[in-house]
Amino acid sequence: MKGTTGNPQTRQWQDLSHAHHLPPFSDYRQLREHGPRIITRASGVYLWDSEGNRILDGMAGLWCVNVGYGREELVEAAIRQMRELPYYNLFFQTAHPPAVELAKAIAELAPPGMDHVFFTGSGSEANDTVLRLVRHYWATRGKPKKNVVIGRWNGYHGSTVAGVSLGGMKAMHAQGDLPIPGIEHIDQPYWYGEGGELDPDEFGRRVADQLERKILELGEERIAAFVAEPIQGAGGVIVPPDSYWPRIREILDKYDILFAADEVICGFGRTGEWFGNQYYGVMPDLMMIAKGLTSGYLPMGGVVVRDRIVEVLEEGGEFYHGFTYSGHPVAAAVALENLRLLREEGIVERVRTRTAPYLQKRWRELAEHPLVGEVRGVGMLAALELVKDKRTRERFPAELATGMRCREHCFANGLVMRAVGDTMIVAPPLVISEAEIDELIAKARLCLDLTASEMP
Ligand code: PLP
């Protein structure tokens, strides 16, 4: 295996990886050639690799390390809970203090009337839970045929069979004969990429109207729920036009269809509000949560459920669904402490009033760069589009892999910035300071220059 390494241990870890490890979402052919980068430690908003390079983590891990790395309070919470009760399950009418206290803490932050939480081990499991839960809900209400769920092309809801099916990533669907039956998709509200000449609000209304057409095509008596991220993350930080969510909510109300907001990325402060649906003022019936719930320190997810759904579930008797690690006590204790930090240190408040406006202001300066067709963002989420021609929005040929080049320049220059095709994304830890935002912007600009210098 080839590698660029001064530290002999780097090579050993890469060889071990090659010999034994299949990392997720990785090109195995490329990995055989180059070996993985090895990350060994982290503090605040920075990572260190095995070569000793310091890297500003512009993606908060995978959009999850909201309170930043190295918070001793979370370590201590885990240790205390491990000593007290390291594990017990919640099956068969059981609870433990961390799970119920965490459920209460989440209910206090959630929109009014969403007072119950079903815990899972991940965001994907939360989406699987929603699929089963909404079908069970309608069946209990005597409407078993109301079982189709509508998602969106280019949405992301995880990697399990239901998660991939609800999501609209065509490359994922192609591997494994997905989506499963009973799941349909409509277009995404991606104005820059798909809005053509339309005014953004006009485009927003038009794509929202697709939901109504899909409902009428399939029959409203068959549609259980609409599943969507308030802002699509993995799809490329797709910020919908302002007209989009009000129109969607109107349609859902008109046809009595549940709205499951996937808050796995948007939740716990990323938009400057506790949840993305609060940013848009659009009330969900269910919310999928994970990632920022524990700031990624331990795996945990869940579904927050509206009270009127819970009343029906109570009529339905046993819900044959759950995971060994649902509400894991150590993860729950860490999540509780994480929420305490987010609340008591005013981290979400600071994002809303200071650091997100600053990030967005500085990010928008990158629009002047010759390679940048659009900049957009909300809160601690931001994206920019790499284009050949700003005026016509023409892209570079796919074989130039412009986004990937830019991403590699970023890694080489001490910044994690993600590429979705030729869309570059950041979602830094919520605790990022203004000086660190300046560093992020300076590095992003440098990497844009380096990428531009390679373009024909
Ligand atoms: N939903 C959204 C919106 C996500 O971004 C993700 C992960 O990126 C998931 C669900 C899946 O979560 P997990 O990877 O914890 O299964």
For residue 234, the CA-to-ligand 1 centroid distance in Å is: 9
Q: Which of 157, 161, 328 to mutate to test the pocket of ligand 1 (most atoms within 8 A of CB)?
A: 157
Closest CA to 382 of 447, 441, 455: 441
Check: CB of residue 391 under 8 Å from CB of residue 376.
no
Assess whether pLDDT exceeds 60 at residue 57. Answer: yes
The Cα 188–Cα 264 span in angstroms is 18
The Cα 375–Cα 380 span in angstroms is 13
Give me the amino acid identity at 312: V
For residue 248, the CA-to-ligand 1 centroid distance in Å is: 22
φ, ψ (nearest 5 deg) of residue 170: -65, -35
For residue 157, the CA-to-ligand 1 centroid distance in Å is: 5
- For residue 6, the model assigns a pLDDT of 87
Per-residue pLDDT tens for 298-327? 999 999 999 999 999 999 999 999 999 999
Check: CB of residue 23 under 8 Å from CB of residue 36.
yes
Closest CA to 119 of 91, 152, 140, 139: 91
Q: Which of 62, 156, 229, 328 to mutate to test the pocket of ligand 1 (most atoms within 8 A of CB)?
A: 156
Q: Which atom of ligand 1 is nearest to the CA of 122?
A: 15
- What was the ipTM of the complex prediction? 0.99
Is the bond into 357 cis (omega within 30 degrees of 0)? no
For residue 446, the CA-to-ligand 1 centroid distance in Å is: 30
Find where tokens 């080049």 sit.
405
User: For strand 116-120 and strand 183-186, is the pairing parallel, antiparallel, or unpaired?
Assistant: unpaired
Per-residue pLDDT tens for 335-373? 999 999 999 999 999 999 999 999 999 999 999 999 999
Give me the amino acid identity at 56: L
- SS3 for 133-183 is HHHHHHHHCCCCCCCEEEEECCCCCCCCHHHHHHCCCHHHHHCCCCCCCCE
The Cα 63–Cα 49 span in angstroms is 19
The domain made up of 37-70+347-454 is a member of CATH 3.20.20.70: no
For residue 335, the CA-to-ligand 1 centroid distance in Å is: 17
CA terminus-to-terminus distance, the chain: 31
For residue 290, the CA-to-ligand 1 centroid distance in Å is: 7
Query: Taking the CB of residue 347, how many other CB atoms lie within 10 A of it?
Result: 20
What is the DSSP-derived secondary structure letter of residue 444? H
Per-residue pLDDT tens for 270-306? 999 999 999 999 999 999 999 999 999 999 999 999 9
Assess whether pLDDT exceeds 50 at residue 3. Answer: no
Output the residue whose Cα is nearest ligand 1's atom 6.
158
Spans of all domains in the chain: 37-70+347-454, 73-345
Q: Determine the 3-state secondary structure of 36 from DSSP.
A: coil
Per-residue pLDDT tens for 219-266? 999 999 999 999 999 999 999 999 999 999 999 999 999 999 999 999
Q: Which of 122, 291, 295 to mutate to test the pocket of ligand 1 (most atoms within 8 A of CB)?
A: 291
The tokens describing 196, both together, are: 């053509």
The Cα 98–Cα 85 span in angstroms is 10
For residue 166, the CA-to-ligand 1 centroid distance in Å is: 12
Per-residue pLDDT tens for 167-183? 999 999 999 999 999 99
Closest CA to 338 of 429, 227, 221: 429
The enclosing H or E element of 32 equals helix 28-34
For residue 303, the CA-to-ligand 1 centroid distance in Å is: 13
φ, ψ (nearest 5 deg) of residue 5: -150, 135
The tokens describing 10, both together, are: 């780097």
Neighbour order of strands in the sheet with 183-186: 116-120, 301-305, 286-289, 258-262, 223-228, 148-152, 183-186
Output the residue whose Cα is nearest ligand 1's atom 9.
158
Give the side-chain half-sphere CA count within 13 A for 133: 30
For residue 12, the CA-to-ligand 1 centroid distance in Å is: 31
Mean pLDDT over all residues of the chain?
97
CB neighbour list of residue 294: distance below 8 Å, 6 or more residues apart: 64, 74, 300, 331, 334, 335, 338
Per-residue pLDDT tens for 368-425? 999 999 999 999 999 999 999 999 999 999 999 999 999 999 999 999 999 999 999 9
Per-residue pLDDT tens for 4-38? 568 999 999 999 999 999 999 999 999 999 899 99
- For residue 122, the model assigns a pLDDT of 98
What average pLDDT does this structure show over 55-67?
Answer: 98
Neighbour-count burial of 309, counting CB atoms closer than 10 A to its CB (0-12 exposed, 13-18 middle, 19+ buried):
buried
The Cα 313–Cα 304 span in angstroms is 13
- Are 37-70+347-454 and 73-345 in the same CATH fold? no
The enclosing H or E element of 411 equals helix 402-412
Pocket lined around ligand 1, Cβ cut-off 6 Å: 62, 122-124, 127, 156-158, 229, 233-234, 262, 264-265, 290, 301
Q: Which of 120, 124, 418 to mutate to test the pocket of ligand 1 (most atoms within 8 A of CB)?
A: 124
Q: Where are the alpha helices (DSSP H) in 345-383?
A: 347-350, 356-364
Assess whether pLDDT exceeds 50 at residue 2. Answer: no
The tokens describing 68, both together, are: 């930043």
Assess whether pLDDT exceeds 50 at residue 86. Answer: yes
Q: How many residues does the chain have?
A: 456
Closest CA to 410 of 387, 428, 434: 428
φ, ψ (nearest 5 deg) of residue 444: -60, -45
The domain made up of 73-345 is a member of CATH 3.40.640.10: yes
Closest CA to 186 of 235, 159, 149, 222: 149
Query: Taking the CB of residue 437, how many other CB atoms lie within 10 A of it?
Result: 24
- For residue 4, the model assigns a pLDDT of 55
Neighbour-count burial of 62, counting CB atoms closer than 10 A to its CB (0-12 exposed, 13-18 middle, 19+ buried):
middle
What is the DSSP-derived secondary structure letter of residue 365? G
